Every structure is written in C-alpha cells, then in structure tokens.
Structure 1
Amino acid sequence: MSNEKSKSIHEFDFSLIADYFSNLERQGPGSPEITLKAMSFIEGLSEYSRIADLGCGSGGQTMVLAQNTPGHITGIDLFPIFIDQFNQYAKQLHLEDRVIGQVDSMDYLPFQEEELDLIWSEGAIYNIGFERGLNYWLQFLKQGAYIAVSEASWFTSERPEEIDAFWKDAYPGIDTIPNKVAQMQRAGYIPVATFIVPEICWTEHFYAPQVEAQEAFLQKYAGNKTAADFIANQRYEEQLFNKYKDYYGYVFYIGKKL
C-alpha cells in the first residue's frame, strides 16, 4: 500500500476537496430513488413545514426533496462553492421561493429551538459525528418531528483488517447498524426505519461520475502532488468498496423526536 493511498481524507486541504466535489452532482452515495424512499417514512409535512438539509453540498438530494414535498427548505453547508451551486440549482428549477442555501456550520445551527419539522442529512453527519449530531440537532426539532440521515455503517460484527483499519482512520464513529439504532434511541428519537443504501448508489451514482471528474481535476492541478495524492486516495477508496462492499456501506436512519 503506497503512502498516497493510505492517507486519511483529513490530511487533505478542504478547499481542494470542495473544488473536486463541486464538479459532481452528488457529493456522496445516494440517488433520487433512495431520497424518495427515505421520504416515504416521513409524515405530516405541509406548506408551512420547515425543513433543514445539513451538509447539503450542491443540493442534488435537496431538490428531490423540494420537488416531492411541501414546505420551506434551508440547505446548510460550510463551503460557499456548494451553496452558490445550490442556489443556482434552486433558481433553475424555479424553487428559489421556498428553497434557500446558506453558508453555516452543522455544529452551530442558525435555527430556533423546536423550529424544524424535519432534519435531513445525506452522507454528511459524520462531519460532526453521528451520536453528537443526533444529540445536538434534537433541540431544533418540534415534538414529533423527524430526522433522516445516511451514515457509513458496518454490516457485520467482524471484518478484514484492511477495511477495518481504513474506516477507523477515516471515520472512527463508524459502527454496526444495531449500535447506531441504539444511539438514535438514547438521543431521544423513536427509530422509524432503517435501510441499507443499495450498491448501485455507490457504483453508478457516486463512483462512475468521478472517472471524468478525476481526469479534469488532474489536468487542472497538473504537477500538484497534493491533488494527485487526493485522487489516488479516491481511487483507493473505490477499490476498497469493490473488494469489501459486503462488510459496509451507507445506511439510512429515520427517527422521530419523542
């Protein structure tokens, strides 16, 4: 294993990462179908509902939400490049009157207590940590409101050393599905539904579009070792998924505030 391949994602410059992922429609594994499947477990939304998509990226999944549910949606992301794309996307779809993106941190949310009817976060809660995020975000939800997050999880209680070491370095908060559900319960939610995000959401919707994006990125940053290392890291991550996908993946966790 080369040093480039074994680098943690945390070692790379965030602006470089944001620039790379801004060229992709999705910043993580998922699909419109999976967003809608998760939505099917959410009840009681109306035109007055307030929804927040935390770690929204450029808003691929947010626009699917907006086109299939009533209410006002606020997308939150730390990177201005994503929020600029998000707001342009909303305008293109004529959703700007009820969908707005703003630069903020999921660690310090700009909402009032019990303001929200739904918190959404696809593949982004790891930035704050699953358990910490569920506990902190709870205060912003109304009684009986919902949370829906997708999160990297182990499918088995044991796995090969190579993939175990990779994920423990990349995201120490990774855990098994039963342990994640227990964390959700302890945080003050009723677990409503849990389902595994299908393999196609990784292969076709996340990794396949990166092939072209990687070549363009390497040309843009020709001679930049950090950029080359980052792409090597992305390719290694894909290799690991193809090799060990029976052991881990993304899981959607949907809960309701007690």
Structure 2
Amino acid sequence: MKEENKSIHEFGVNLICEYFLGLERQGPGSPEVTLKALGFIDNLKKDSCIADIGCGTGGQTMVLAQNVQGNITGIDLFPAFIEQFNMNATKINLQERVKGIVGSMENLPFQNEELDLIWSEGAIYNIGFERGLNEWRKFLKPGGYIAVSEVSWFTEKRPVEIEKFWMDAYPGIDTIPNKVSQMQKAGYIPVATFILPENCWIDNFYIPQVSRQEEFLQRYRGNKTVEDLIAYQRYEAQLYYKFKEYYGYVFYVGKKFVYPDPF
C-alpha cells in the first residue's frame, strides 16, 4: 500500500477506535487551549447544560468540568470511548454532573433550546463544519455558545501533496475567513478564532502515538490492515512536520444570535 493513496475512512471503525482508545487524546489539543476557548464564554451557571459532541474519552471534557459550573453530557459513537469517559469522570469525582452516553452527532438527544454551550474539539468534521453549525444551532438557547476546533488552511495556496491529502481526508477543509463566514451565515456571532499551537499536534498527539504504534504492531504482528493503519498515521505525522505552515487546527467560538422582530 502507498499510504498517501489511502484514506483514514477506509479502515474499520472498530480498529480505529481500538487504536485511539490507547491514547489520552484522540486529536490535537491541550488543556491550555481548552481553557483559552472557554475564556470567551460568559453565560455558564450552576444549572447550565453543556454538551461535548464527539467527546472521545473526555480529555477536554474533564478540563471543562473542572473549570465551569453546570452539567455536561459527553456524546460519542464508540461505546468503548464512553466507557472510558465515565471511568475518567468517576476518577476525579465528577460523575454527578458529567456523564457520557453513546450517540450520534447526526441525531442528538436534546430538546430545542436546551443547551447553554455546545463543545466539540476535533470532531465536527465527522458531520461537516457547516452542517454541524446549522443542525446543532436549534439545541442552543438564544445567546448560547458553540465552540469547536476544526482543521483549516492558513494560506490560500498549498503544495499539491498536502492539498491532495486533506481533500481526500476531509473535503470540507477551508480557509479561516471562509470558516468564519460559514459560522456567521449559520446564525452565530463569531466571538473568537485562534490557531492551536504546534505543541497540540506534536507533543500531545503525534509523539504519544509512537509507542502506541509499536505496541499495536507487536499485538497484530503480520496483520496487513494494522500495518497500513500505522503507515497512514505515520505519513500524516510526516506531512504535519513538513507542511505545518499551511494548515492546522483552529478554534472557532460563536454565539447564537436571534434576530428580533420584524426581521
């Protein structure tokens, strides 16, 4: 296999889940970045309702819970992630107001205008940035916030190699101004936009995978699918080191705006 010709979506979801379950984070980020984004949100109280969509094992969710009031529901498609999520909440005695449930971001179990905050780090791409912003908006109270991190282009032009990789992996990737415009058109006031620093990728995401990859290869020695998955992950990391000036994760924070009558 030429790993540059294969997409992450071609690997079985169970294998991908098992691989990332062994990591503290399932995507680029850091507690500092989570808190920075949280700093732009001012409506949270003891009775606030928060949803972390595509929560994974809850690394960022636990940071949120330790720094805000209110009840947090984490939602992820993979039962193993949610099991670990709830174990993590219990370990730090947050189980009374932090709960993970298995569910799809395409069919969220909330009432209209139930939520004060929707959070999603590195996961909205699964439904699509624009679609997620539009479909999830109804669950927010007027004046409620959405905060998501999303892979984005930093430049208008890119080398062919990195352009092809990301267009295959996520055709919804776009420039920061276009993402902000999509947020505004979806009915939000863009509150903040900032680029995640390189350590969120290198120190917190790619370096921790090195030992995980060796462990996986040993466990599944001779398994071609596993070898291809590891090759793909290594290729993705190489591309980041080579082309990180052109793209990265960006946090987008928006506030739901409701036009008053007679608009």
TM-score range, shorter chain: over 0.9
In structure 2, C-alpha distance between the alignment counterparts of 1:237 and 1:165, rounded to whole Å: 12
Q: State the shift of 1:131 in Å.
A: 0.2
Q: In the alignment, which residue of structure 1 is the partner of 2:121?
A: 122
Deviations 1:90-137, CA, capped at 9 Å, x for gaps: 000000000000000000000000000000000000000000000000
Q: State the shift of 1:222 in Å.
A: 1.3
In structure 2, C-alpha distance between the alignment counterparts of 1:229 and 1:195, rounded to whole Å: 34
Q: In the alignment, which residue of structure 1 is the partner of 2:170?
A: 171
TM-score (norm 2): 0.97
Work out whether residues 3 and 235 of structure 2, in 8 Å CA contact, stay in contact via their aligned partners in 1: no
In structure 2, C-alpha distance between the alignment counterparts of 1:232 and 1:3, rounded to whole Å: 9
**Which amino acid letter does the alignment assign opposite residue 200 of structure 1?**
N
Partner SS for 1:109: coil
Partner SS for 2:22: coil
Q: State the shift of 1:6 in Å.
A: 2.5
In structure 1, C-alpha distance between the alignment counterparts of 2:237 and 2:5, rounded to whole Å: 13
Q: In the alignment, which residue of structure 1 is the partner of 2:246?
A: 247
Deviations 1:56-99, CA, capped at 9 Å, x for gaps: 00000000000000000000000000000000000000000000
Q: In the alignment, which residue of structure 1 is the partner of 2:97?
A: 98
Work out whether residues 5 and 229 of structure 1, in 8 Å CA contact, stay in contact via their aligned partners in 2: no
Residues 69-84 of structure 1 mapped to structure 2, 5 A cutoff: 69-84=68-83
Deviations 1:220-251, CA, capped at 9 Å, x for gaps: 11111101100000000000000000000000
**Which amino acid letter does the alignment assign opposite residue 8 of structure 1?**
S
Q: In the alignment, which residue of structure 1 is the partner of 2:45?
A: 46
Instruction: List gaps (5 residues or longer) in structure 2.
Output: 258-263
In structure 2, C-alpha distance between the alignment counterparts of 1:53 and 1:44, rounded to whole Å: 16
Residue identity (%): 70
TM-score (norm 1): 0.99
Q: In the alignment, which residue of structure 1 is the partner of 2:261?
A: none
**Which amino acid letter does the alignment assign opposite residue 176 of structure 1?**
T
Q: In the alignment, which residue of structure 1 is the partner of 2:205?
A: 206
Deviations 1:125-154, CA, capped at 9 Å, x for gaps: 000000000000000000000000000000
Q: State the shift of 1:194 in Å.
A: 0.1
Work out whether residues 4 and 165 of structure 2, in 8 Å CA contact, stay in contact via their aligned partners in 1: no
**Which amino acid letter does the alignment assign opposite residue 162 of structure 2?**
I
Work out whether residues 118 and 147 of structure 2, in 8 Å CA contact, stay in contact via their aligned partners in 1: yes
In structure 2, C-alpha distance between the alignment counterparts of 1:26 and 1:80, rounded to whole Å: 16
Q: State the shift of 1:212 in Å.
A: 0.6
Q: In the alignment, which residue of structure 1 is the partner of 2:190?
A: 191
In structure 1, C-alpha distance between the alignment counterparts of 2:253 and 2:110, rounded to whole Å: 21
In structure 1, C-alpha distance between the alignment counterparts of 2:113 and 2:70, rounded to whole Å: 16
In structure 2, C-alpha distance between the alignment counterparts of 1:47 and 1:127, rounded to whole Å: 31
In structure 2, C-alpha distance between the alignment counterparts of 1:165 and 1:214, rounded to whole Å: 25
Partner SS for 2:192: strand
In structure 1, C-alpha distance between the alignment counterparts of 2:244 and 2:133, rounded to whole Å: 26
Q: In the alignment, which residue of structure 2 is the partner of 1:34?
A: 33
**Which amino acid letter does the alignment assign opposite residue 232 of structure 1?**
A
Q: State the shift of 1:29 in Å.
A: 0.2
Deviations 1:178-235, CA, capped at 9 Å, x for gaps: 0000000000000000000001100000011001111111111111110110000000
Instruction: List gaps (5 residues or longer) in structure 1.
Output: none
Partner SS for 2:62: helix
Partner SS for 1:226: helix
In structure 2, C-alpha distance between the alignment counterparts of 1:151 and 1:44, rounded to whole Å: 23
Partner SS for 2:36: helix
